[in-house]
Amino acid sequence: MQDILVPISLFLGAFAMVFGIRYLSNKEKMAMIERGIDPGLSKSTPKPFLSLKFGLLLVGFGLGLLVALFTVRGLFGSDMNHTEKSQSVAIYFGCIGIFGGLGLIVSYVIEKKWLDRETLK
């Protein structure tokens, strides 16, 4: 009995979620039309630095993985026991987060400089 309730409740929950999202999206668009705003205009705003941001984020992830690899090999060597392996996983995730964040910060600095130059023109 319990085996059949899980798929049914998952299906009903997914259906309710999709229906709710579509219903609320339609209500939002109708409210925008009533106020005289074009509902298609907000979806097409350009994001000029989106590819730069994701590119720098991926470069940061790659640098984080490389730094973590060299750190683990330098600290623990080639023969690691179980505790050192779990510590090396923490080093990997820490370096990925740090360098990914640095990539986003560099992206912000580049965008800020570009916006400052554009406002001065």
pLDDT for the residue numbered 42: 60
Query: What's the CA gap between 66 and 77, in Å, rounded?
Result: 15
Residues 6+ apart with CB under 8 A from 14: none
pTM (2 d.p.): 0.52
List helix spans (H) across 35-81.
Answer: 50-76
Domain ranges (residues) in the chain: 1-43, 46-120
Q: How far apart are CA 42 and CA 33, in angstroms?
A: 12
101/109 Cα distance (integer angstroms): 12
Q: Give the Cα separation of 54 and 48 in Å (integer).
A: 12
- Predicted local confidence at residue 11, as pLDDT: 93
Nearest to 104 by CA among 31, 67, 55, 33: 55
Angle between helices 82-120 and 50-76 (to 10 degrees): 150
DSSP 77: -
pLDDT tens string for the chain (121 positions)? 677 888 899 999 999 999 999 999 999 989 988 998 887 766 655 677 777 888 888 888 888 888 888 887 787 776 667 677 767 777 788 888 888 888 888 888 888 888 888 888 7
Q: How far apart are CA 114 and CA 80, in angstroms?
A: 47
